Structure formats: structure tokens, C-alpha cells
Structure 1
Amino acid sequence: MAQIGEAVAQVASRDALARARLRASLVPDLLVEARRVVNTVIAGWHGRRKRGIGENFWQFRPYVDGEAVSNIDWRRSARDDHIYIRDKEWEAAHTVWLWADPSPSMLYKSQGASVSKESRALVLVLALAELLSRSGERIAWPGLTDPFSARNGAERLASHLLHASTLAAKPDLRPLRRFSDMVIAGDFLDPVEETQEWLDPLARRGVRAHLIEIADPAEETFPYSGRTEFRDPETGERLTAGRAETVSQDYRNLYAARRHELASWCAKLGWSYTVNHTDRLASDALVKVHMAMTADARAGGR
């Protein structure tokens, strides 16, 4: 029995090493693709629309007794009989945690998809890292990096991924604090209850989460017929369907119900839920998550 356990452990170790090598080979190209996506979508992350300390002009407003004279814009004030203050835009940085699901199921790529789910998830995470870094936000990957701020944040994060021998199937979320954000890119094929149990501590601590479901078109449409064998990439279990088309409708109903339940749960918490198909553009999801995070920041006054 001990020999069997040791053999299983050796196989698991070899699989983990193979996954690490595969990821390392993909990361440089994925970083290039992430930057291309960012440059296509947006030239930077807009500042927070709130008065405060910053470099960008926001508005002129009337001077109020007691304010610092140094804040007066004398050129604007000279135009009429009023004294004006030159306000700048608030640009307080906060921390955004980024994570892409490293589960074996993310390696799936059907004939109708342009990339694997893992590749798409990593591109989106690196694209967000690039976008956030350009605006001075702090970024981090739970269990891999501490929060940091750098103009080359995407490159630094890619370097950490390049040299990571293993990535936790479910990272420790205890370091995440109130008013931070977390972006999670994965297929969310686990039972909804398990996903909720994992993420519920974030909601209780006041962390805003943005879930990006990476979906392969074949997983959603179930285009199979006749005798078909299915294999679970997580457990290796196999299931043979004599006539796959007879279960297609039940499968699609269950698949849609899982997504609807998880998306509804996120909506109740004030979180965002975005679906990105691997036969469509990564930029679609990037725009939606960008808008959700910007709306959250403005609503929260951050």
C-alpha cells in the first residue's frame, strides 16, 4: 500500500513539473499578447474622480476662507472677480490581487477554440497587471508575490510565474484586506457551493472580487454525438456515453444553471461576473472588468 502511495506521489510530482515547464514556455508569448490586448483596448487606467493629491487637473472651484493661498490659480482668478482653487484628481493607489486557476481542467482546448483556457486566463491576468501598473496601482498574486507597485508590474509578475515550480490549486486568501480588489480567472466548474465557501471570507472582509469565467465553446454547447468517452482531467475518471446526444440538453441546462447561480451570488455581493469564451477576443473581458473595477472605485470613494 505504501508503495502504491509513493508511486502516485511520483506521478503527481512529474505532472506538476510538466505543468510548470509548460507554463514557463508559454509566459513570454502570453506577456507579449497581454500587452497587445492592453494597447488595443485602452491607453491607461483613468484616475479616480475625486478631489485630492495628484498630478492631473480636475476642476476649478471658488476659493473658501482658510484654504492655502498656494492652491489659488491666479491666472484663472484674474479673468473675473472671483478667486479660484485649482483642484487635482485623487489618485490613491490600492491593491488588486490577481489570480488565474492552474487546475488541469484549464488546459482544455477544443477544435473550435483559438487558445486553451489556461492561456486565456493568464493573458487576461497579465493584461490587467499591465493596465494597473501603468496607473500606479499595487498588484499581487496570492501565495506568489507580496503587493508591489512598479511600472513594469506585468513583467515582474510574469517573471514570478516563469520561475514558480508549483501554483496552489486554491491560494490562501487571508492576506487580502478590506478595500482591496481580487480578480479571479478560471472555469469555475467546481460545485457552486465549494466556490462560495472558498470566496465567502473575502465578502466578509470587504474585499471586492471580479470573477472571469473562461469558457471553451465546446463546454457550453456540448457538440458531441454517438459513442463518446469523457475523461475528468482532475481525477482521471472516465465516462462512456453510448449516445452522447441524448444527454446534451440536460448537460446544457446544468451548465447554464451553475453559471446563473454563481453570477447571481456575485451580483448580491456587489461583485462582477464576466464570461469570456476562448473563441472570442480577450479584450471583451478586459473592457468589462475594467469598467466594473472603475465603477467600484468611484462608488467606494477610493
Structure 2
Amino acid sequence: MARIGEASAPSATGDALARARLRASLVPDLLIEARRVVNTVIAGWHGRRRRGIGENFWQFRPYVEGEAVSRIDWRRSARDDHTYVRDREWEAAHTVWLWADPSASMLYKSTTASVSKEARALVLILALAELLSRSGERIAWPGLTDPFTARNGAERIAGHLSHASTLPMKPDLSGIRRFSDIIIASDFLDPVEETREWLDVLARHGVRAHLIEVADPAEETFPYTGRTEFTDPESGEKLTAGRAEMLGEEYRRYYLARRQELAAWCKRLGWSFAVNHTDRLASEALVRIHMALTADGGGYAAGVRA
């Protein structure tokens, strides 16, 4: 799908150094915003709790024939006619990769939105870095950091982003291995087949991915009328429509079909897919990702509107 923006949208022909300076100037404020968002959801965030090797109690569950008898909790089992096993909580650190799309199309912000797509994507990723770091998980940004564990994980990633002179439009994902998770915040406006080709390496390596489509409401509703000039922020190409409203129905059908196809592909892989609009709260997407990360061995297919 073509990346369409209003004529006032920033162009991809802008200098890379200027983009880096702009990002560096925004990151400190975005980190503050990310921590504010974290404070609104932290009460319900319990990390990726699951059963496994550890010291802390996780749950009672029915005994399954073939399990070691030593795992049976006889005191709990004595309360009724069932036999129960006491599970402990998995305590090994897990690696969660985080990435926000730095493409020029992410700079778009319509008059109906409160922030640009880039700002929202970075707030989401920094907020997740903060939450995951507090939970003791290893985090990393592909092509920018190696996996690390630190209580100030969001601050460390923000520092790397501030000092990065350039960021690849699509990082190399081949080094991400099985049993890791990756959270990707993007507008996913490329043709679905290109997105699938890029992310296929994750599926082949057994990585569980969580896609957050960051959408400006104007991109979805196409509210334009009359003579309107559109500019592709990636290539700089322009399209002038004499009566823009005549394009609306076909555009909206094409736009939503792309999203539905991508969401269906994620569901088949056991991945999660969510949409976060820039005129809605960032915390809504964090709640969905929390549900997906804590799901036992399966993806959480979010609805196509958040």
C-alpha cells in the first residue's frame, strides 16, 4: 500500500542528520511521557508470569498421570476428591526485543491527532522497556543494543536512540532466536507481502512477535474533500485529486483490507496484533501487549480497532 500523507507531511528527502537531531530532541520528553503512561498501568502489570523452575508459588492444578508423585501437594489435595500439584513460578529472565519504525511516514500527524505516529511508537516502546525492565526481563533493540538486564532499561535505550546518527528503516532480525519475543510498533503501510517477507525469519526461528499498528485517524477515515494534494513521504511523489472525496470509499476498503490480512496472518502464526490510534490513549496498547506476553504459548489476536 502506498504511504499517503497530506502535502504538509514531512518528506523522506529530509537530511538524515536533521532527522537524528529531531529524534534526539524529542526522546527526553518522550521518555517522560512513557513513564507517565507506565504509572497508569503498572498496578496491573505482573511481568510474564508462568509456571517453571523457581521458589515462588504459582498455582495449584490437577495432577496428571505420569508426573512425579513428589510434586503432589497432599495438604491441598486432602480438601476434596482431587489430587493437586503445586506449580512454582518461572524465574528465568526472558529476552524481549523492542523496535519502533523510524520511516518518514511515521512523522505524519493530522489535525485530528494529538501526536505523530513516530512519537506514539517511541512512547509505547519506551514504556514497554520500563515495564519489562522492572519485571527483570532482558530487553534489546535490534541493531542498536545487545540484550541486557537493568532497572533503568528505558533510560538506556533512550540514550542509544538520542546518540544514533542513523537508524535502519528495517533492522536485521536474523539474530533473534527461539523463545524470544519481539514487539514492533509501526504503521505497517508497506504491502502485506513485503511485511511478511521481512518478518518471515522470525516465524522460521520460532520467535513470538507482537505487532502494534500505530495509526493516525485521518489515514483510516480519509476525511479529505475538494482539490487536495497528497505527498508520499517516502518518495516525495505527489498526487493531486480534483475531488478527493471520490477516492474515499475505495481508499478505506483498501486500507482496512491490508490491516485485516496482516492481522489474520499474525493469528495463524500465534502472534498478536493490535491497533493504537494516535487520538487514543497509549495505555490501551500496553494492556493488550501485557495480555499477549503473559498468554501461555499462544498469541493474542486483538481486534482491529483499539
**TM tier relative to shorter chain:** 0.7 to 0.9
**Equivalent in the alignment of 1:274:** 274
Matching residue of 2:184: 184
* 1:49 aligned counterpart, secondary structure: coil
Question: 1:86–1:223: structure 2 CA closer, same or farther, 3 Å change rule?
Answer: closer
Equivalences for residues 139-288 of structure 1 within 5 A: 139-288=139-288
Distance 1:29-1:86 versus aligned 2 partners, 3 A rule: same
- 1:47-126 to structure 2, matched below 5 A, reads 48-54=49-55, 56-58=56-58, 88-126=88-126
- Could you tell me how far 1:93 is from its partner in structure 2? 1.3
Does structure 1 conserve the Cα–Cα contact (< 8 Å) formed by 2:50 and 2:294? no
Deviation (angstroms), 1:203:
0.4
What residue number does 1:6 align with?
none
Per-residue deviation, 1:15: 1.3
- Deviation of 1:48 (Å): 2.0
The alpha-carbon deviation at position 45 of structure 1 amounts to 2.8
Q: Give yes or no for the alignment of 1:290 onto 2:284.
A: no
User: Structure 1 CA distance, aligned partners of 2:49 and 2:274?
Assistant: 23
Match of 1:48, SS state, is: coil
DSSP-derived class of the 1:251 partner: helix
1:228 is displaced (CA, Å) by 0.3
Deviation sequence 1:227-251 (CA, Å, 0-9, x none): 0000000000000000000111000
Query: 1:22 corresponds to which letter in structure 2?
Result: L
> For residues 163 and 13 of structure 1, what CA distance do their matches in structure 2 show?
21
Identity across matched positions, percent: 75
Provide, for residues 52-93 of structure 1, a one-character-per-residue CA deviation record: whole Å limited to 9, x for no partner: 224x4335899x8878xxxx9xxx99xx9xxxx986422221
Q: Which segment drifts farther, 193-202 or 87-96?
A: 87-96
Amino acid at match of 1:167: L
Structure with greater contact order relative to length (CA < 8 Å, sep ≥ 6): 2
Counterpart of 2:26 in structure 1 is: 26
- Number of residues paired by the alignment? 277
Distance 2:110 2:150 in 1: 37
Q: Which amino acid aligns with 2:97?
A: W
Match of 2:36 in 1: 36
> TM-score with structure 1 length normalisation?
0.85
- After TM superposition, the runs of 4+ consecutive aligned structure 1 residues lying more than 3 A away are 11-14, 56-62, 64-67, 85-88, 296-299
Gaps in structure 2 of 5+ consecutive residues: 1-10, 80-84, 300-306
Aligned-partner residue type, residue 48 of structure 1: R
Distance in 2 of aligned mates of 1:297 and 1:34: 28
- Judge conservation of contact 1:210–1:271 (CA < 8 Å) in 2: yes
CA contact (8 A) 1:93 1:138 kept: yes
Q: Which has the higher helix share?
A: 1
2:48–2:293 Cα contact (<8 Å) kept: no
Deviation at 1:12, TM superposition (A): 8.0
Inter-partner Cα distance in structure 1 for 2:86 and 2:258: 51
CA distance in structure 2 between the aligned counterparts of 1:126 and 1:160, rounded to whole angstroms: 12
- Letter in structure 1 aligned against 2:54: I
How big is each residue's C-alpha offset from its partner over 1:246-273, in whole Å with a ceiling of 9 and x where there is no partner?
1110000000100010110111001011
- Counterpart code for 2:172: D
Q: What SS does the corresponding residue of 2:230 show, helix, strand or coil?
A: strand
CA RMSD of aligned residues (A): 2.7
Secondary structure of 1:154's counterpart equals helix
Deviations along 1:10-40, whole A, 9 cap, x unmatched?
A: x989611111111111111111111111110
CA distance, structure 2, for counterparts of residue 297 and residue 38 of structure 1: 25
Gaps of 5+ in 1: 1-10
Structure 1 residues 136 and 124: alpha-carbon distance in aligned structure 2, compared to 1, 3 A threshold:
same
Counterpart Cα distance in 2 of 1:198 and 1:256:
21
Structure 2-normalised TM-score? 0.83
Question: Are residues 93 and 297 of structure 1, via their aligned partners in 2, closer, same or farther at CA, if it must alter by over 3 Å?
Answer: farther
Corresponding residue SS for 1:50: coil
The structure that has the greater radius of gyration is 1
Q: Secondary structure at the match of 2:89?
A: strand
